[in-house]
Structure 1
Amino acid sequence: MSGSQEVPAVHLLGPGMAALVQAIPIAAQATGRPVVMVGGLAVLCRLSRPYRATTDLDTVSRLEEGQTGQLELLVAAGATLSGPSGVQLPTALGPVQIDVLQVADADFDPLPDDPTDRLHVLSHAWAADTATRMTLMADAPPPVDVLVAQPAALVAMKLQSAMNRGAAKEGTDFLDIVRLSTDPVTNRAVVDGLQSAGQQLKDDALLHVGRWFEKGRDRTLKRIRTIPEGGATTMDDLELVAELLTAALGR
């Protein structure tokens, strides 16, 4: 990763990544709102050494009362619905899948009773509120500035999103948590960020750390090892992640 301390830059390689970068300003123009990146591409941008590819652009939308949803705005601008919360957005380099994870004011009044549903609302809102700017560079389009979720928020979201996923997606979520928690560039940001989070988010995130990295540690390792990039992950890695995250979340 290179660039100034204020606006770090990352160079993404390959035509698929170039299309994702090209889609960002198109989406921003279509919605009239900044794109806030979460998901796999955000993880790759934050890590010191990207370890996997991604084929879609995950975004989070903090929807205020009376606002039109970003999904509806993208469709009105010519995108095609694709999946339960996504669109295929045309670009000069081909269509790009954009998934919009929306959190509305109504989701807080009241917050869900279920801790996993509650963590979804709190972590995605936190990601939207604390995202910081990065410059993305690719082979074809010009550099693009975009808001990217911070490492701690990415970990909180991944702790929640692993629930009810297929084995491969679940393994990727778990491995993203391991990488973000142990990478020399993101480790401190994960710990400091989680320490500063709101108490309800910390309580719910801690519950999920226990579920995935303590009680369910054997299953988590099996899931990680179902994907090629996770083959070298060890039980020691998961024990370290459990130790780091439980300390950061206040136990």
Structure 2
Amino acid sequence: MSPTLGAGATRTVGTPKIDLNSDLGEGSTMAQMARDRAILSVVSSANIACGFHAGDTETMSETVRNASEYGVTVGAHVSYYDREGFGRRELNISTAKLKSDLAYQIGALKAITTLNGTTVSYIKPHGALYNRIAYDDTQARAVVETIATIDSRLVLLTLPGSVAMQVAQELGICAIAEGFADRAYTDDGRLVPRTIPGSVITDPDEVVQRALQMARDGTVTSSDGKVLRLDARSICLHSDTDGAAALSQQIRLALEFAGITVTSFIPTC
């Protein structure tokens, strides 16, 4: 029997539906924006950088407009204020500071979506903050409490079995379990740190097969070959992974060929 990564908003076994998301708006060059647009033509949810690890008002606005054009659900990709480290450095900041930083980012994207006739539907922490709230009750609680205060209808996208998911359940916030097609897992269900070789998976066949395994079987195989119960309702492919635009298209085609519908986890939870 496979180890479980935790309960929560669990995918119903046999239901041929999955969300496909990507971290977008993290670069402003023409090539990066073209890549993001190509990915938006494929995914069902877009995690848009809110300026703290990457992005600015111009990239946020263009990504929101493109997401709206393709009917893609918009989420706020919030992070520590760490542009130099791309939000991948763990920061020990006060709860008050973290809450204020989160509110600033969510508020900014909410205003931009309103300006463009759409809305923010969910929150996905980025990088070090995402990993931190998987085990740190204090910072997980700060994230979830901020969501509850700003708009309790917002959904939290997080690692299955994380402390953040447990806190969300406690505070009545909808939490959706997420899997990563292009990231390696440890035997305890955490993401392998990016400092370790092989932590990012770029082989197209492997990435596609991992996405199919997550969507079809509700499992993921760790770096050491252990099959872990995942029950993810959303699958992420990072836009900065080599060949991300082509990979996203291959994943979607493979999922649809397998009879799995790619659709946002909004509005149901």
Larger relative contact order (Cα-Cα within 8 Å, sequence gap ≥ 6): 2
TM-score (norm 2): 0.27
TM-score (norm 1): 0.28
Considering fraction of residues, name the structure with more helix. 1
